[in-house]
């Protein structure tokens, strides 16, 4: 269920509020292009500036509109264990197929603290949990040994690896069970991660290019290694452009240029700078997403 390309959905905003009409159209665009699944309320969905009620509203809306067409993995993490548990229970009740749970940020727990955080939550819910390791944002790196301990818990089923460290990922693959799913959290490294055992990606770039990102994963999983590699090289400049400023600023800017939604973000994020806007426009034009 959790293999291939999953889009880390942006949360469309209009005058400071969730824009359900734009979200509905964006979901349909993704599914029609062949995406394998959707991930609302992660980093790209600006979960850190959504209230818990808004967070659950976005998840509930996504689940209802998807209507079983693809799996929905809802963000539900927090730096507070009790808060993450409460949010996980709410997204499960909203109908999510799984949850994506970030390592606690800012308070910098030890490896034992990370283990206890996730295991405590997993013991009290039955929804599948995908761990999310992104040390560049959280200030803490979950080591392979800790992932391996957590992988023994039945409803902890996978990891989104956004370390950009293929050596660490290689050790993680060696230590976890064969059926434990590792997805890339770095768009530029999807192909390399799949080469060492990855099963796909939770992607920012697939917000604008869902067909190509899902196509790369599908080709690799089907054994068309050369075809997957060609798409990797085609996607690479777009991947770089979508991170020219803090995610999700560039991808929302690109979607606005494509006429799909507003580029509105919540403070402390701000829209694309003029310099970055030029680079993003050039990248999506070169990729064929915008007429020159």
Looking at residue 15, its pLDDT comes to 96
| pLDDT 10s digits, 118-129 | 999 999 999 999
The domain limits of the chain are: 4-224
Model pLDDT, residue 284? 98
CA 155 to chain centre: 19
Assign residue 68 a region (left: φ > 0; alpha: ψ between -120 and 50; beta: otherwise). Answer: left
pLDDT, tens digit, 9 for 90 and up, residues 72-117: 999 999 999 999 999 999 999 999 999 999 999 999 999 999 999 9
Domain at 4-224, CATH homologous superfamily:
Aldolase class I (3.20.20.70)
pTM above 0.95, yes or no: yes
Catalytic residue among 160, 191, 220, 252: 160
User: Above pLDDT 90, what percent of the chain?
Assistant: 99
pLDDT of residue 1: 80
160 is catalytic: yes
**Residue 291: predicted pLDDT:** 81
- Across the chain, mean pLDDT equals 97
Sheet of 73-75, strand order: 37-39, 4-8, 200-203, 181-184, 156-161, 129-133, 98-102, 73-75
Catalytic residue among 25, 105, 106, 132: 132
Helices 111-122 and 81-93 sit at what angle, rounded to 10 degrees?
30
Per the annotation, the verdict on 132 as an active-site residue is: yes
Let me know: does 31 contact 235? Beta carbons within 8 Å.
Answer: no
pLDDT tens track for 111-120: 999 999 999 9
Q: What is the pLDDT of residue 243?
A: 97
pLDDT on residue 292 = 66
Query: What's the whole-number mean pLDDT along residues 169-176?
Result: 98
267 alpha-carbon distance from chain centroid: 21
């Amino acid at each position: 269920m959790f293999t291939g390309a999953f889009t880390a959905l942006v949360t469309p905003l209009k005058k400071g509020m969730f824009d359900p009409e734009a979200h509905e159209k964006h979901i349909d665009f993704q599914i029609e292009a062949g995406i394998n699944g959707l991930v609302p309320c992660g980093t790209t969905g600006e979960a850190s500036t959504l209230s818990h009620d808004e967070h659950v509203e976005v998840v509930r809306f996504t689940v209802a509109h998807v209507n079983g067409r693809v799996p929905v993995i809802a963000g539900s993490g927090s730096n507070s264990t009790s808060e993450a548990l409460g949010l996980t229970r709410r997204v499960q009740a909203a109908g999510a197929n799984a949850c994506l749970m970030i390592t606690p940020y800012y308070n910098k727990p030890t490896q034992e603290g990370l283990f206890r955080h996730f295991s405590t939550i997993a013991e009290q819910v039955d929804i599948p949990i995908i761990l999310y390791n992104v040390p560049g944002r959280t200030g803490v790196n979950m080591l392979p040994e800790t992932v391996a301990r957590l992988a023994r818990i039945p409803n902890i089923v996978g990891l989104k690896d956004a370390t950009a460290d293929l050596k660490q990922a290689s050790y993680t693959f060696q230590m976890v069970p064969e059926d434990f799913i590792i997805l890339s959290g770095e768009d530029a490294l999807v192909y390399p991660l799949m080469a060492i055992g990855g099963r796909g990606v939770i992607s920012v770039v697939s917000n604008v290019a869902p067909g190509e990102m899902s196509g790369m994963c599908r080709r690799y999983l089907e054994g068309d290694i050369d075809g997957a590699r060609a798409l990797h090289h085609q996607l690479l400049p777009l991947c770089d452009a979508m991170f020219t400023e803090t995610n999700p600023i560039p991808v929302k800017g690109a979607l606005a240029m494509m006429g799909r939604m507003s580029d509105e973000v919540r403070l402390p994020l701000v829209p694309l700078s003029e310099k970055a806007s030029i680079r993003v426009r050039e990248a999506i034009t070169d990729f064929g997403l915008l007429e020159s």
